[in-house]
């Protein structure tokens, strides 16, 4: 079984210029989920939304082409795809002649679905549609202005979480203070997080302390979001819950995991830091 330390992370990089699906490095989700005590029956639905800003290939006559790419990897897939390998794989199209955009998309779908172990959705946005791209914000009430003194930056502390069981509400809360670290290189990963729930009112001060306690924690984006989902659901007895993290871009890619008690796919807004 492959591990994160077998991946291209933190190693000297060879930038391929010909399409090479072997560059993709899948990592089994099971290890991270075992650490959370999750079995085969997951307590959430979800998807990992990726946005790529550095996709280019050659047309049949050798002229470079570009597009923005969006990928949806189901959380039910057995594997996540390590981000640096994803970047190197996308870069391998740069010197590859393709018959057209449809051929590029079909190739991406095939390669990524094989690596993830489940169907991956791919959408490409050509330059003609770039004008429609917008900077947006996450819906919800931001809790970052709470007047708190904080000195605990990890490991994550679910004991900070609590809820008022006598008051049941439905609300959406947002924080831009989520930070974790790459488990291999230690590089910082920055994110905004949206928590939509119905049930007992979550104590906001404790929630913010909990989110900040990820600051020195090392884990992949997807596993951090699953930990947040599981901790909030266990400690706050939510009837409905969705956790959505929008991570900042690295290597032309941003990763945006969403986990929810309800099935579906969230919107894919591009935030100011993305």
170 assigned to a ligand binding site = no
| CA-wise closest residue to 244 among 53, 44, 55 | 44
Helix (H, G, I), strand (E, B) or coil at 24: coil
Q: How many CB atoms lie within 10 A of CB 194?
A: 20
Q: Is-contact 2 79, C-beta < 8 A?
A: no
Q: Is 82 annotated as a binding residue?
A: yes
Which residues is 10 bridged to in the sheet? none
CA–CA gap between residue 73 and residue 113 (Å, rounded):
8
251 is in an annotated binding site: yes
Residue 27 in contact with residue 221, Cβ under 8 Å? no
Known binding residue 250? Answer is yes
Find the catalytic residue in 182, 224, 230, 236.
182
CB of 70 closer than 8 Å to CB of 108:
no
Residue 71, number of CB atoms within 10 A of its CB: 23
Q: Is 159 annotated as a binding residue?
A: no
Which residue shows structure tokens 């992370």?
Answer: 9
Q: Is 10 annotated as a binding residue?
A: no
Q: Would residue 189 show up in a list of annotated catalytic residues for this protein?
A: yes
Instruction: Name the nearest CA neighbour of 46 among 80, 18, 7.
Output: 80
Q: Report which DSSP code applies to 248.
A: P
Which among 48, 107, 111, 189 is annotated as catalytic? 189
Bond prior to 244 in cis (omega within 30° of 0): no
Sign, Cα dihedral of 143, 144, 148, 150: positive
Please indicate if the annotation marks 84 as binding a ligand.
yes
Per the document, the length of the chain is: 274
Annotated binding site: which residue ranges?
Answer: 81-84, 221-222, 250-251
Annotated binding site for substrate: which residue ranges?
Answer: 81-83, 221-222
What is the set of active-site residues? Answer: 182, 189
């Amino acid at each position: 079984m492959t591990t994160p330390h077998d991946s291209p992370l933190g190693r000297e990089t060879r930038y391929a210029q010909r399409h090479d699906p072997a560059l993709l490095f899948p990592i089994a989700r099971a290890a991270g989920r075992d650490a959370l005590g999750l079995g085969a029956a997951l307590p959430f639905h979800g998807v990992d939304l990726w946005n790529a800003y550095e996709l280019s290939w050659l047309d049949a006559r050798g002229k470079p082409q570009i597009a923005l790419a969006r990928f949806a990897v189901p959380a039910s897939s057995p594997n996540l795809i390590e981000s640096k390998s994803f970047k190197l794989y996308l870069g391998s199209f740069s010197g590859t002649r393709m018959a057209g955009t449809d051929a590029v998309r079909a190739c991406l779908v095939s390669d990524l679905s094989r690596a993830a172990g489940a169907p991956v959705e791919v959408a490409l946005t050509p330059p003609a549609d770039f004008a429609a791209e917008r900077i947006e914000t996450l819906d919800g009430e931001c809790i970052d202005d709470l007047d708190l003194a904080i000195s605990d930056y990890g490991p994550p502390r679910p004991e900070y979480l609590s809820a008022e069981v006598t008051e049941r509400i439905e609300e959406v809360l947002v924080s831009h203070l989520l930070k974790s670290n790459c488990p291999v290189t230690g590089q910082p990963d920055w994110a905004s997080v949206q928590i939509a729930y119905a049930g007992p009112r979550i104590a906001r001060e404790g929630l913010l302390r909990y989110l900040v306690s990820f600051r020195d924690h090392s884990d992949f984006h997807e596993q951090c979001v699953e930990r947040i989902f599981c901790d909030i659901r266990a400690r706050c007895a939510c009837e409905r819950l969705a956790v959505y993290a929008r991570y900042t871009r690295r290597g032309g890619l941003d990763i945006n995991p969403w986990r929810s008690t309800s099935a579906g796919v969230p919107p894919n807004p591009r935030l100011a830091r993305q």
